[in-house]
Amino acid sequence: MRHYELLVVLKPTLTAEELQTKLNFLKEILEKNGAVIAAKHEIGTRRLAYQIEKFERGTYSIFYFTAPTAAIAEVERLIRLSEEMIRFMTVKFENQKELRFWNKQVEKLTKKSEPTPAPVVAPVAEVVESKETPAEEIVTTEA
């Protein structure tokens, strides 16, 4: 099993539902081919350095995973068939320095995804002062 990073740029015209569907599809492809996904980071829509298929923006997402070498060819083949994914890049991490970086990124992303407990705040009692005048002080004059 080798360590990989897969960066995918999707069309910016996808709705939130379609985007999640495509990312879940990509996750399923990876898992079916023996990959173990360690972390996923959805960066969001950003401006591209140059136009790709007449798009000036793209939605970026990164997957960090371990997989057998043979799985990468199949995953890339299926990504090429998808019209919604306009670019992708697979990076293999081999030496110790690269693996430390991979582990650091995965650790950072898994810490972000864990929900942080909300601070406990004691309720503050409100004191409301009434500015109404008592009924005895109201004087009516008739003409």
Confirm whether 48 is domain-assigned.
yes
CB 9 within 8 A of CB 88: yes
pLDDT at 117 over 90: no
Confirm whether 118 is domain-assigned.
no
Tokens 């005895």 belong to: 136
Confirm whether 22 is domain-assigned.
yes
Confirm whether 124 is domain-assigned.
no
pLDDT tens digit string along 3-62?
A: 999 999 999 999 999 999 999 999 999 999 999 999 999 999 999 999 999 999 999 999
CA distances from 80 to 23, 66, 77, 85, 135 (A): 14, 21, 5, 8, 81
Q: How many domains are there within the chain? A: 1
Confirm whether 35 is domain-assigned.
yes
For residue 107, give the CATH number of its domain: 3.30.70.60
Confirm whether 129 is domain-assigned.
no
Global confidence as pTM: 0.75
- Which residue segment(s) compose the domain that 68 sits in? 2-113
Confirm whether 142 is domain-assigned.
no
